Chains A and B, each alone.
Chain A
Amino acid sequence: MKRSWVLSIIAINLIALIALVFVFPHLMISPGPVIPAHAEIATDCFACHRQLRGASPDRCQTCHVVNDIGIHTTKGITIPKDKPTVAFHQQLLEQNCVACHSDHVGPKLTQHSRKPFSHALIKMDVRNHCTSCHAKPKNNFHQQIQSDCQQCHSVNQWQPSTFHHDPFFLLDGDHNAACATCHVDNDLSHYTCFGCHEHTPANIRTEHAEEGIHNIDNCVQCHRSADDKESEAREGGEGDDD
C-alpha cells in the first residue's frame, strides 16, 4: 500500500514534468536561450528544427531569403546602412546557415560547432575580387593602386601584408623607423630621407656636390640600404637602374 503511494506520487510528478516539456520547451530541453532577435519563436522549436534532422537551413531560409540578407529585414524593410551593402551571403558556395550560425549561443558545445569565417566559403569568381566586399584603404598609396590586392595581402589576414620593403630600401638598424618618418602623412606613394635629423638637405647637398650629384631627392636610386659600400658599388657599377 505504502509502496503504491510512493509510486503514484512519483508517477504524477513525472507526468507533470513531461507536460512541462511541451509547455516550456525553451526551458526544459533547449540547450540555451535563442538570440534576442528570435525571442518570438523561442517556444517553437520546429521553426528551425526538423524532426530527427536537427536545425535545417531550409527552415532558416523560409524567413531569411538569401537574396535579401543584409539588404532587407525578414519583414521586408530595407536595412539602412552608412556604407554600401556587400553581397556576401549571396556569394557563398553552399547555403548552409547552421555551418556558421547557431541560435543557442550559450553552451560551449554549440560555440565549438560553429565554423569561423573563411574566404574558402566564397565562390571563386568573387573570392579573387576583394573590392566586391572590402573597401580600399583611403590613404594615397592604396587609392592609386589598381592591381590585385593579393599581390601584397593574403586572404588569411590583411596585416602584416606580404609586401616586402627590402628590395626598395632595407629597413635595418636606425632605418627601422615608423612609416611616417619617410612617408609623410602616410602617403606611401612618396618618400623623403629628410624626415630625420641625420639627413638634412644642406649636408647631403654638400656631400653629394663633391661627387657631381645634384639630384638629392631620390636617394634610393643609389642607396638601397644604409650600407655605404653597397651604394658605392651601385654608383660605380650599375649606375641608374630606375
Chain B
Amino acid sequence: MLSREVLPFYASLAALALLSLAFDALLHIVDRVWIGRYLGIAGTLLIIFSFGYSLRKRRLIKSGTTVRWLRLHEHLAWAGALLILVHAGIHFNAILGWLAVWAMLINVGSGLTGKYLLERARKRLETERQMLRDEGLTAEQLEERLYLDSLTFDVVKQWRSVHFPITLAFAVLALAHIISIFIFWGWK
C-alpha cells in the first residue's frame, strides 16, 4: 500500500514543487524571467481544458470515455499547476495572486487525495467482486463487505463535496487575478 498508493501521492506533490523550482531557477539563470509571465496563460489554458472531465461526467460532452477524461483531467491539471507555479515564482507581490496560487495548491492536494481515494475504492470493489465470483460468501460476510464498500464510496462522495468548493474558490481568485491583469497591464 505504501509503495503503490501513498508514495505516488507524495511523489506527485514533490515532483510539482521540485520541477517548478528548477524551471524558475533556470529562467533566472538564463535571464529569461519574462517567459514566466506567459506560462501563466499556458497553465490556465491547460487547467481550463482539464475541466472537460467535469463536462463529460455531466454528459455535456459525449466524446471519449469518462475514465480517459479523468486521466486527462489529472495530467493536464498537474501540468497546468506546474506552469502556473513557475509563472508565480517565489515573489511576494500582489496578495490576490498569492491567494490564487495557494487556492490552486490546495486544489492540487485535494485532487491528488481524490485520486488516491478513488483508486482505493476501485481496488476494494475489484477485490470484492473477485471474491464474490471465486468464493462462496455467507450472508453476514457479504453484508460486512458491502458495508465497507459503502463506506469507501461515502468517503469519495464526501471528498467531492470538498473538492468542488475548493475548485470554486480557486476559479474565482484566479479569475479576479486575470481580470485585474487585463485591466491594468499594457498588452503591447
Contact = CB atoms under 8 A, between A and B. Distances in A.
B93 interface: yes
Contacts of B169: 10, 13-14
A54 B185 contact: yes
Interface string B57-91: 00000000000000000000000000000000001
B33 A112 contact: yes
Interface in B149-188: 161-162, 165, 168-169, 172-173, 176-177, 180, 182-188
A49 to B, nearest CB: 5
16 contacts: A3-B161, A10-B169, A13-B169, A14-B172, A14-B173, A18-B172, A18-B176, A21-B180, A28-B95, A29-B96, A29-B177, A30-B93, A49-B183, A49-B184, A108-B91, A109-B37
A31 B172 contact: no
Contacts of A13: 169
Contacts of A7: 165, 168
Contacts of B185: 54
B161 A29 contact: no
A17 B99 contact: yes
A98 B106 CA distance: 37
Nearest to A110: B93
Q: Which 10 A-B pairs have the closest CB atoms?
A: A54-B186, A29-B180, A3-B161, A28-B96, A10-B165, A31-B93, A14-B172, A49-B184, A29-B94, A28-B95
A13 B36 CA distance: 29
Contact of B94 (A3, A28, A54, A108): A28
Contacts, number: 69
Contact of A106 (B93, B97, B183): B93
B40 to A, nearest CB: 12
Given A14-B173, A21-B180, A6 B165 contact: yes
Interface string B22-45: 000000000001101100000000
Main secondary structure of the interface of B (DSSP, over half): helix
Contact of A109 (B34, B172, B173): B34
A215 interface: no
Interface of B: 33-34, 36-37, 91, 93-97, 99, 161-162, 165, 168-169, 172-173, 176-177, 180, 182-188
B46 to A, nearest CB: 22
A51 B33 contact: no
Contacts of B162: 6
Interface in A1-45: 2-3, 6-7, 10, 13-14, 17-18, 21, 27-32, 45
Contacts of A21: 96, 176, 180
Nearest to A56: B186
Contacts of B95: 27-28
Given A10-B169, A14-B172, A107 B184 contact: no
Nearest to A48: B184
A135 interface: no
Given A2-B161, A29-B180, A55-B186, A108 B173 contact: no
Nearest to B95: A28
